[in-house]
Structure 1
Amino acid sequence: MKKIGFAIMSLMVVISFTVSAAPMPADAAAAKAKTYANCTEINKQYKGGIARSSKVKNKGGTTKYKPFVSQALYDANKKSDRDKDLIACER
């Protein structure tokens, strides 16, 4: 009887970890991305700006800071990328 109870409890623990570790859907991540009014607001939190992926290159020249990489955050603030190099508000 104890073995059955232990097996059931173990199964419940495994299921709870599986459900809680499920990845967040892309739509939910995009919904949580904050939209900033301008580059000044973005640079207060992300000094190097926001890059869409880690593989993008800065077309504007040299920068002081490395950009934060987040596709959802970049997409929410795409209007701030004036030179269209996939890095918004780089400094």
Structure 2
Amino acid sequence: GDRPLYISIDIDCLDPAHAPGTGTPEAGGLTSRELLEILRGLAGCHLIGADVVEVAPAYDHAEITSVAASHVAYDLISLLALQEDPR
């Protein structure tokens, strides 16, 4: 509907192959592509805010978690930018 929506993405929802840099890795999680598709499917919702949590760079020497998290944050900001002006 048109109710306000706040999205909090815990990066450990991604499989450790896509985001090993978290304190609580979840085997069998989503791929980064699947998460981005879910987020893009929220276009048109009344998004009022969002965050990305649980990124622990010290656990990820290849820095792929930070890349995935930054792309998720970019898509969230893009969704916010696409909001229609309520005026």
TM-score by length of 1: 0.27
TM-score by length of 2: 0.28
